Amino acid sequence: MRVAMIGTGYVGLVSGVCFSEFGVDVACVDKDQRKIDRLNNGEVPIFEPGLDDLLAKNVKAGRLSFSTDVSDAVKEADAVFIAVGTPSRRGDGHADLSFVYAAAEEIAKAMDGYTVVITKSTVPVGTGNEVENIIKKTRPDADFNVVSNPEFLREGSAINDFMRPDRVVIGTSIERAQDVMRQLYRPLHLIETPILFTTRKTAELIKYAANAFLATKISFINEIADLCEQVGTNVQDVSKGIGLDGRIGSKFLHAGPGYGGSCFPKDTLALVRTAQDVGSPLRLVETVADYNNQRKQKMAERIITACGGSVDGKTIAILGLAFKPNTDDMRDSPSLNIIPVLQKAGAVVRVYDPEAMVEAKKLIENVEWCENAYDTMNDANAVTIVTEWNEFRALDLERVKSLLKDPIMVDLRNIYKPEEMAASGFKYTSIGR
C-alpha cells in the first residue's frame, strides 16, 4: 500500500506520519518548499507533542518521505489524501475550496492506475462531487474514486487521536474504494475502533455537524458562566453537576474566553453559509458563532475592569498566546482579539507563550516579547492567563506578587481557586465563579 499525502500541515503531517507508523509507505507533499526542506533536515515545522520522534523513526525505516513534487508521489500511490487548508473565504465566510480544487487538478494529471482520492480536509457537503468532476474533466481516462474521510484529531493530542480515534468516518458507496480504505485503517479495525461507512455527502456533513455541536457546547457553558457571575454561583460546580449526566457528558464544559483555533470558528461559519444557501438556516449555530465572537472581544473589557476601569499607561502581562495548550497554532486565538483592544486602550502589553512565539510574531505587533512567565510579569500592573499551559498552573504566587505593581490576576481559564487567591492577597478575577 502506498499513500500520497497532499498538504503537510497539522493534519497532513500527523496523518502521514501515523499512516507510516501503521506500516504504509507515505509520500508527503507540500508546495511550501521551506516546510519540505525543514522536514528533509529532520525538523518538524509545527509543535505537536511526540511528532518528532515518530517522524524520525519512520523516515529511518524508509517508509516516510517529503517532497514538493505531487506528480512523483501520486503516480506511485494507491491512495491520495487531500489535506490542504480550507480557510474562511474572505468576505462571505464560505469555505475557500481553491486549494482543494487545485490539488484535485494536480492529482488528476499525475494519476496512474486505479487510485482512491480521499478528502481529509474539512469540506462542505457536495465538495466530493466537485472533486470528482474536476478529475474527470482533467483526465477523462482516469480510473479512480473519490472518498470523504474527515479528520477529527485535536492539536496537542493529535497522534493519540489519530492512532486511537473515537471513530473513523468513511464516505463512499463504492466497494472497491471501501476495500482500499479498510486496508489503510486495518490497524484501527484490529483495536476495535468503530469504522463508520456512509455516503460521501453524509461523511462531509458529519464533520461539520460534530464541530458545530462542540462549539455549541462550549458556548453554552460560557453563557451559563455569564449567568453564574450575575447570580453568584460557580460554573465549575454547574459543569460538574450537569456533566455527570451521561446524556450530557463532562467534556467541553470548561468555561473560558471563547473558542478559537483553526477549526471551530471557520467551520461553524461555513456550515451556517451552506445552510443559508439551501434555505435551511441553522439559527442555533448562527447564534453560537456570533456569541463567541462577541465573547472574545469582551475578555479585554474584563481585564480593563479588573484594572479599575482603565489600562491607559499601564502594563499588562499576557501568559499564553496559542488558542490552547500543547500547540503553536495561533489561528483565531482569543489572544488576537484581546491584545489589540488593550493596546487601543493605552496599555503596554508584555507576552509569553511556551511554544507559539514564532507563530505569534507573524500576527501580533508592538508587544514586548518575554522569555518566560515571570519575566512577563516584571513591573506589570496586572497579569492575565489566556492559555492554560501546564507551566502556568503552579506559579510561585509570592514571586508573582513581588513582580507585579498591583496583585491583579485575570484568569480566563479558571486554573486557580478564587478562595486561595484571595487568601494570598490577589485581586483575582476568573470566569463564572
Ligand X SMILES: NC(=O)c1ccc[n+]([C@@H]2O[C@H](COP(=O)([O-])OP(=O)(O)OC[C@H]3O[C@@H](n4cnc5c(N)ncnc54)[C@H](O)[C@@H]3O)[C@@H](O)[C@H]2O)c1
List contacts with ligand X (CB under 6 A): 6-12, 29-32, 35, 70, 83-86, 99, 102-103, 106, 121-122, 151, 153, 155, 262-263
CB 135 within 8 Å of CB 100: no
d(CA 5, CA 149): 13
C-alpha atoms less than 13 angstroms from C-alpha of 433 in its C-beta half-sphere:
22
d(CA 166, CA 185): 13
Task: Please say which residue, 95 or 345, places its beta carbon nearer to ligand X.
Answer: 95
Which alpha helices (DSSP H) does 185-263 contain, by range?
A: 186-190, 200-231, 235-243
Task: Please say which residue, 122 or 343, places its beta carbon nearer to ligand X.
Answer: 122
| Residue 209: CB minimum distance to ligand X, A | 14
Q: What is the DSSP string of 153-198?
A: --TTSHHHHHHS-S-EEEE---HHHHHHHHHHTHHHHHTT--EEEE
With CB atoms as reference, the residue minimizing the distance to ligand X is 9
| Residue 39: CB minimum distance to ligand X, A | 11
- Please, which residues have CB within 8 angstroms of residue 79's CB and are 6 or more apart in sequence? 1, 2, 3, 4, 115, 116, 117, 118, 180, 181, 184
Picking from 326, 340, 327, 306, the residue whose alpha carbon sits closest to that of residue 412 is: 306
- The bridge status of strand 408-411 relative to strand 144-148 is unpaired
Give the torsion sign (CA, 366, 372, 378, 384): positive
Q: Which three cell numbers stand for residue 232?
A: 453568584
Task: Please say which residue, 10 or 259, places its beta carbon nearer to ligand X.
Answer: 10
d(CA 9, CA 81): 13
Which alpha helices (DSSP H) does 23-120 contain, by range?
A: 33-40, 51-60, 70-75, 98-110
Burial track 263-272 (b if 16+ CB lie within 10 A, e otherwise): bbbbbbbbbb
Q: Which three cell numbers stand for residue 347?
A: 496599555
Task: Please say which residue, 7 or 325, places its beta carbon nearer to ligand X.
Answer: 7
| Residue 275: CB minimum distance to ligand X, A | 18
CB 224 within 8 Å of CB 238: yes
Task: Please say which residue, 29 or 110, places its beta carbon nearer to ligand X.
Answer: 29
Task: Please say which residue, 67 or 292, places its beta carbon nearer to ligand X.
Answer: 67
| Residue 321: CB minimum distance to ligand X, A | 17
Task: Please say which residue, 155 or 353, places its beta carbon nearer to ligand X.
Answer: 155
The 8-class DSSP code of residue 390 comes to G
| Residue 322: CB minimum distance to ligand X, A | 12
Annotated catalytic residues are 263
| Residue 376: CB minimum distance to ligand X, A | 27
C-alpha atoms less than 13 angstroms from C-alpha of 11 in its C-beta half-sphere:
20
| Residue 176: CB minimum distance to ligand X, A | 25
CB 77 within 8 Å of CB 69: no
Task: Please say which residue, 80 or 304, places its beta carbon nearer to ligand X.
Answer: 80
C-alpha atoms less than 13 angstroms from C-alpha of 280 in its C-beta half-sphere:
4
Q: Which three cell numbers stand for residue 164?
A: 486511537
| Residue 82: CB minimum distance to ligand X, A | 8
Task: Please say which residue, 103 or 431, places its beta carbon nearer to ligand X.
Answer: 103
| Residue 100: CB minimum distance to ligand X, A | 8
